[in-house]
């Protein structure tokens, strides 16, 4: 289902997703509508705009969190005109996966966008690279361990934090999956994080780590 107040975008998204074999069960244009529809349709994934009527502020974020509370396991992909780490932090502060926070303009890159939609729907994570960049931005009190990472490891960490799988990271960096595997285990070692199989769990581990120390 889709919650977006601008008809132009909403219709476009619906058409796009239907073209690619997604079943769009409902579309609404405000936050109360989102909660109402979720109760009725029990969708797998909600795509939500941060700014929704009536207050045009952060209605979408609050509605998305409320929707997840009412329907545990509901995957939520939040679209926003701007990147606000505070909102991303609120979304990923929950244990469960199925979370995405992307800039609206990413819908232009259809492959990546559809990939993110699928990933979130399946319980994975999709964070905009801008969010990740802000979380990984060099800071004075940056954890010592982060400074120990090599440049390549930094790149891998950033892609990992976006929610990409090892093979996707390998594609993006044009290296073999085995090399990515090595980088990932090195990163986990340097950051002293427990190794984990599931994509979204390791993303959460990384982000939790960054938030706690950042």
Partner 1 sequence: MSRSPLHSGSGGLRAGDRDREAIAELLRAEHLAGRLDSDELEQRLERCLAATTYAELDAITADLPRRRRAVRAASRPRPHRPGPPGPPATMRGVHVRRVLRGLAGLVAVLVLAIWALASSGSPFWPPWVWLGLAIPFALDAAIRWAWRRPAGAARQAALVWGVGAVIEATLVVIWALVWIIAGRAAYFWPAWSLLGILAVWGVHWILVLRPRLDRASANAELAAQVEELSRSRGQAADAQAAELGRIERDLHDGAQARLVALSMQLGRAELALEHEPGARRLVEDARQEASRAIADLRDLSRGIAPPLLADRGLAAAVRALGARYDAEVEVDPSLEPRQLTPALERGAYFVIAEALTNAAKHASAQRIAIRLALAPPGLCVTVLDDGCGGADPGGSGLGGLRGRVEALGGTLTVTSPAGEGTSLEARFPIGS
Under DSSP, the state recorded for 45 is E
How many Å separate Cα 206 from the centre of its chain? 13
* Residue 186 or 211 with smaller CB distance to partner 1: 211
As measured in angstroms, the least distance from the Cβ of 185 to partner 1 is 30
As measured in angstroms, the least distance from the Cβ of 192 to partner 1 is 21
What's the rounded Cα separation, in Å, for the pair 201 and 146? 19
Q: Cis omega before residue 54 (within 30°)?
A: yes
- C-alpha distances in angstroms, 118 versus 17, 113, 127? 11, 9, 13
Tokens of 140: 């004075």
Q: Which stretch binds partner 1 (CB under 8 A): 120-128, 138-146, 153-161, 188-196?
A: 138-146
What's the rounded Cα separation, in Å, for the pair 204 and 214? 15
User: Using CB under 8 A, which residues numbered 53 to 82 contact partner 1?
Assistant: 56-58, 81-82
Strand partners, 80: 103
As measured in angstroms, the least distance from the Cβ of 82 to partner 1 is 5
User: Using CB under 8 A, which residues numbered 20 to 39 contact partner 1?
Assistant: none
User: Using CB under 8 A, which residues numbered 82 to 121 contact partner 1?
Assistant: 82, 84-86, 104-105, 107-111, 113
- Write out the residues near partner 1 by the rule CB under 8 A: 6, 8-9, 12-13, 16, 19, 51, 56-58, 81-82, 84-86, 104-105, 107-111, 113, 134, 139-141, 214
């Amino acid at each position: 289902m889709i919650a977006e107040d601008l008809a132009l975008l909403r219709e476009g998204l619906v058409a796009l997703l239907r073209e690619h074999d997604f079943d769009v069960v409902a579309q609404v244009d405000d936050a109360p509508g989102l909660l109402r529809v979720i109760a009725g349709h029990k969708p797998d994934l909600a795509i939500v705009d941060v700014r929704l009527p009536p207050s045009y502020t952060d209605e979408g974020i609050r509605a998305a969190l409320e929707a997840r509370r009412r329907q545990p396991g509901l995957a939520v992909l939040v679209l926003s005109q701007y990147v606000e780490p505070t909102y991303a932090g609120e979304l990923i502060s929950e244990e469960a996966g199925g979370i995405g926070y992307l800039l609206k303009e990413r819908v232009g890159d259809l492959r990546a966008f559809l990939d993110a939609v699928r990933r979130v729907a399946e319980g994975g994570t999709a964070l905009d690279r801008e969010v990740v960049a802000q979380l990984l931005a060099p800071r004075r009190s940056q954890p010592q361990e982060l400074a120990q990472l090599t440049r390549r490891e930094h790149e891998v960490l950033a892609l990992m934090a976006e929610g990409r799988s090892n093979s996707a990271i390998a594609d993006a960096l044009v290296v073999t999956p085995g090399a990515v595997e090595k980088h990932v285990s090195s990163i986990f070692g340097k950051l002293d994080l427990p190794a984990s199989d599931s994509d979204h769990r390791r993303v959460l581990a990384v982000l939790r780590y960054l938030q706690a120390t950042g």
